Chains A and B, each alone.
Chain A
């Protein structure tokens, strides 16, 4: 068994275009949610989102690249470049062959699909650009990352709705821990804030029209975000040998399937994934200081997740902190676990617990310490990151402070 550490992190999301800005926003409890600015927004009932603002694709990519890179791929590459720069790792020779890319996304190149369906259905065009398929495919981001940084080992994309990134990072962790790989670029990305994407979510009637208030009694739904988070996971011995700066250690991962309902979450399924991650990391539950919640702000998720945490941790549930940073960066669907892992790293490395903002009224069904509204200084040694997807697919990661 090999130890697995994180040696690089990168992101672009509604809170910032890099990790430092995102940490600052999380410390300050800043909200990235605002009016949604997309074409035909007047035909949507939901008109808010946590959009990436102030972003110009031409600042980062040339014309040929833009012809091939959907927005979700662009976000991924920007985050991957930051993570690679921080890590300082270079993939050549045998290391390149034993390192790969595993990324999560749910919608993939949804903006590309949306634009081109519009062109052929609404505008009646009979000709489309030749690169639509390589641009929209869910594995496009993974492939471009592998090409840009020469990762030639196991590489693929995971799509498990809102758990995609956690599943991706969990598999990357397992591949390094088992000795199969030396390093992995992993995380995820999403860019679903297009008319068709938001309209589809609207149909489910789980979206808030005003705000995301996880665990608060007056919560009324989720708010979508967009962006990416990408990390360098690396074999500890390899990282140590090259003198890499270590951000945190990944120590456990578990997945479960509710095998119950396509949209309603199950307490048992969530609890099995949480307990499984503790077991995989050989942790006693009292060691866990913080959980980054799935915390979508829907009525169903937050009470089910709270009940699952109470079940697994028993009396210790009242001692640990649990917050939902979706209140700030929105729900990035397939990319959400990756951005949320940043809050875990911040907790371990800086001793700052990101808050659940917009919290207004206690809910007896969510009676945990949700770190309401204001970030908290607290040294924690072990944290978990929860992700529970539609379809009942759950993925929980465990991380430890590296010292």
Chain B
């Protein structure tokens, strides 16, 4: 083992002290928090999908009513010169 390896081994042993006691409710709290995160994420996704759907429907309706592909009739008559 290299010198650096020996030094690292020494520090590793230093870190290897007995583990702390895990509180009994830690996993439960984590699951609760994670579940909340998941629900929030799902709700946000549902909201985004809903808004997109509404936008598509609104656009379709507007297109049906306004028919923007027709050229609007000219509102001004070109001046009649030199007749």
A-B complex is real: no
A interface residues with partner B (beta carbon < 8 Å): none
B interface residues with partner A (beta carbon < 8 Å): none
